[in-house]
Chains A and B, each alone.
Chain A
Amino acid sequence: MANEIVEKVTDHGHGSWVAVADKLRILAGAARYDVSCASSGSSRNSPAGSLGNVVPSGICHSWAADGRCISLLKVLFTNFCVYDCAYCMNRRSNDIERAAFSPSELADLTISFYRRNYIEGLFLSSGIIKNPDYTMELLIRCVKLLRENHGFAGYIHLKAIPGADPDLILQAGKLADRLSVNLELPSQQSLNLLAPDKSKVSIFGPMKRIRDWSLEYNPPAGKQRLVSYSGITALTSAPARHQPATRPVFVPGGQSTQLIIGASPEDDRQILTLSESLYKKMQLKRVYYSAYIPLNHDSRLPDIQPPPLLREHRLYQADWLLRFYRFSVDELFENGPPLLDNDFDPKIMWAMRHPEFFPVDVNRADFESLLRVPGLGMISARRIVQARRVGRLSIEDLAKLGVVMKRARYFLEAPGSDSGTLGLDPVRLRQRLLAVEPPVLKPKQLTFEDMTGFQPEIFKDAVMGQF
C-alpha cells in the first residue's frame, strides 16, 4: 500500500478540500509531538511582488488546547515510514491511518493559511518514504513551490532527514529559515536500543555540515553584512532583472534539535552537558526537550506513566540559564546530585548551594552578578543597570522599577533592605522560599486520571492521530 501512495505523491494531484482536511487531521496529529514551533531568530523582508516577511521576535498566532503556542503550520509531509523507532507512533510496525500530501497541495494550503494571518510559515517534517534522499527531495519540491512559484517570504522550518545526500541538505538550507535534525535520545546506547535505524553518525554528520555551511554562507558573528540579502530565495526564481550581487543565505534562523526526556535513563546533568556541547560545538540555536509520552507498547520502553512535564520544565529553565544567563553545567551541579530540584527553579538551586555569592549589592554589582540573583531576569537586571546611572537605588525603588521582590529580597542588598532576611543559612532559606513558591509550577503536571473523561480509547486515539 505504501508504494501505491508513494506514486501518488509524485504526481501533482490535488484532492478536494475535504480530502485535504483528512490528510491535515492525520499529518498534523502525527507532527504534534515535535515541540519546536519557534518562528523567531530569523529576519526576511519581502521584496516587491512577494508575499510575507519574517520578524526576528517571532509571532504566536494561536494557542492549542495544550497551551502550546501555534506559530507555524506544523505537519508531516507523510507519516509513512520505513523506520521502526520504538518511541515513535509513526513507526513501520504500527497499524495506523497513513496519508501523504502532494507538494502542491501543501504549498497551496500554506499560502491559504498565511494570507489569512493564521500562521507565520511552515514547519515541515516527514516520515521516511522509500529512502532518505527521496523524502528530502519531496520536502524540497514543496518548499521550492512556496518560495519560487508563490514568492513566499515567510518562515520555513525544515527537517533535515538523517541520511539524506549532503547536496540535498545544502539545497534545503538555502530555501529554509531553520533546519533541524532531531537527536531524540541523549546517548548512543539509548539510540541503539530504541532507534536502531538511526545512528549518532547519521545525526551528527548533517548537523556538522549545517554548522559549517552556516559559517561559510553567513558572515561571522559581530560583523554586519554590508548589503541586505532579504528575500534572496524569491530572487532565484525571478527573471534576472535586478539581481543584486549578494551571496545566497543559508538557514538565517540557524539549526535546532529535540531530545525526548524520560524514555531513557540519562540524568539531567548528562542531558544538559549534551545540550551545552551542542550549543558550543554545533552552534545550535535551540535544543528542545519533549517529555516522553508513551505511545507504543514496547518492552524496551518504560511503562505508562504521566509525562514528566515538571522535569521538562526544569530542563528548559536550566537551558535558559546556559544560553542567556552565562551559567555552565558544571557550575549548576557543583556540590550536588546530577538532578535538578523539583521544588525550585535551577537558579534558586544554584543560589542555595552558593551562599558565599550573596547578598549582591544592587548599586555596585555588575550586570552578570545581577543576572545570577533568583527573581531577577534580563529585563529587571537591565532596568537596574539603567536606573542606577541616574541615582542610587533603594529597595523601594526596585519595586517601582517593577522588580518582583518575592524571591529577590533574600539575595539583594540595597539601602532599605532588611538585614534580617539576608545571609541566611541554606536550610532556613529553603523554608522561606518554599513559603512563597507555589508547589507546582506551570505547565500543570497532569496524570491521565486527572483528565476529565479519561478513557483508554482516548489514549489509543492519540496514537492513531485522530484528534
Chain B
Amino acid sequence: MQIIRYDGSFYGLISALVPFLKQRRLPDAVERENQQQPLLAIAETEPQTDAISVASGNLHDAELFRIPGISRETWQNAWYAFLSEEKNIELRLARYLLLALEKRGSVDAYQADERVRSIHRLARQVGVERHRFMGLLRFRSIGSNLYYASINSDTFVLPLLAPFFVRRFAGQQWIIHDRRREVAAVYNLKTWTIIERKSADIPPDASEESAAQHLWQCFFDSIAVRERLNLALQQKCIPKKYWHDLIEKPGR
C-alpha cells in the first residue's frame, strides 16, 4: 500500500504526487492532514505561493508545475477542480494528470473520457460559482475605507475571488469571510492572505452603511418592470442559498 499524505494545500498535493507521476503510476490512497482547514497551510507559511499563482496563470515561477505534457490549461483545470473539495478529488486529479502525461498535452480534448470529463465538470462548477460571487458578493462598510463581505459558498472559491477583488478594489481595505470554512481573505492595500476567522465573528456596520443599503434597496425595487414580473426567473438566476448575504431582498 502506498499512501501519501499532504498538508491540505494544492501545492502540497502536487508535491506529493509528482514522484508518482514521474514513474507513471498512482498512489493507492491520499490522506489529507488538517481536514478542517483546507488550504490554510499555504496561507500561513507563504502568503503568495505557487498554488495561488496557478490561479493567476503565472506558472513561470513555479518550478514544480513545469512538467512536460501538462499544459497551463490542464493545471488550471486541476486547480479549479481541487477547489471543489469533492470527495476523493486527490485521486481523481492524479488519474487526470497521469492521463495528461500519457497524451502529451492534448488531454483536454478527450472530453468523452470519464477521467477528463469529471475534472472538467468540477472545474466548471467552481468557475461558475466564482463568477457568481464576483457579482453577488456584497461589501459593507465597517470603518474608514474598510469593507467586509460574508459568503457561504459550496466550493472553496475564496482564493479565486481574492485576486479579482484586489484588482478591482486595490484602494480599499477589505475582508471576505467564508463562513462555511471559517476562514477569511484579508487585504491590507499591499497583499492579501487567508486567515482563520470564526463564522460568528461578524463586525458591526459603519454609521453611513444603512443609508447606502437603503438606497440600493430603493434602486432594486424601482428598476423592475412590474408588467413583466417573473419571480421564478429571478430565483433561477439567484438561487435561494445566496439570498442570505444579499443586501437587496429578492422574491418580493
Q: Is the CB of B234 within 8 A of A112?
A: no
In this assembly, does B14 line the interface, its C-beta being within 8 Å of a C-beta of chain A? no
Which of A45, A116, A401 is the one whose CB lies under 8 Å from B140?
A116
Q: Is the CB of B212 within 8 A of A113?
A: yes
Q: A386-B111, A400-B111, A444-B230 are in contact. Are A115 and B214 (CB under 8 A)?
A: no
Q: Which candidate, A58-66, A133-141, A253-261, A322-330, is the interface stretch facing chain B?
A: A58-66
In this assembly, does A309 line the interface, its C-beta being within 8 Å of a C-beta of chain B? yes
Residues from 218 to 252 in B contacting A, C-beta threshold 8 Å: 218-234, 236-238, 246-248, 250, 252
B residues within 8 A CB of A307?
A: 227-228
A residues within 8 A CB of B139?
A: 115-117
B residues within 8 A CB of A451?
A: 226-227, 229
Number of interface residues, chain A, beta carbon within 8 A: 71
Q: A20-B215, A28-B223, A467-B221 are in contact. Are A397 and B238 (CB under 8 A)?
A: no
Interface size class of B (residues with CB under 8 A): 35 or more
Main secondary structure of the interface of B (DSSP, over half): helix
Q: How far is the CB of B100 from chain A (nearest CB, A)?
A: 13
Which of A25, A49, A293, A465 is the one whose CB lies under 8 Å from B227?
A293
Complex Cα spacing A104 to B233, Å: 35
Q: Is the CB of A21 within 8 A of B220?
A: no
A residues within 8 A CB of B214?
A: 17, 21
Q: Which candidate, B58-66, B77-85, B86-94, B129-137, is the interface stretch facing chain A?
A: B129-137
Q: How far is the CB of B182 from chain A (nearest CB, A)?
A: 22
In this assembly, does B211 line the interface, its C-beta being within 8 Å of a C-beta of chain A? yes
B residues within 8 A CB of A402?
A: 111
22 contacts between A and B (CB under 8 A): A21-B214, A28-B219, A62-B248, A63-B237, A67-B230, A68-B228, A70-B223, A113-B212, A116-B212, A307-B227, A389-B106, A389-B109, A390-B109, A390-B110, A393-B112, A400-B117, A402-B111, A443-B230, A446-B230, A461-B226, A465-B222, A467-B226
Residues of A near any B CB (own CB < 8 A): 17, 20-21, 24-26, 28-29, 31-33, 45-46, 48-53, 55, 57, 59-71, 73-75, 109, 112-113, 115-118, 291, 293, 307, 309, 383, 386-387, 389-391, 393, 397, 400-402, 442-444, 446, 448, 451, 458-459, 461-462, 465, 467
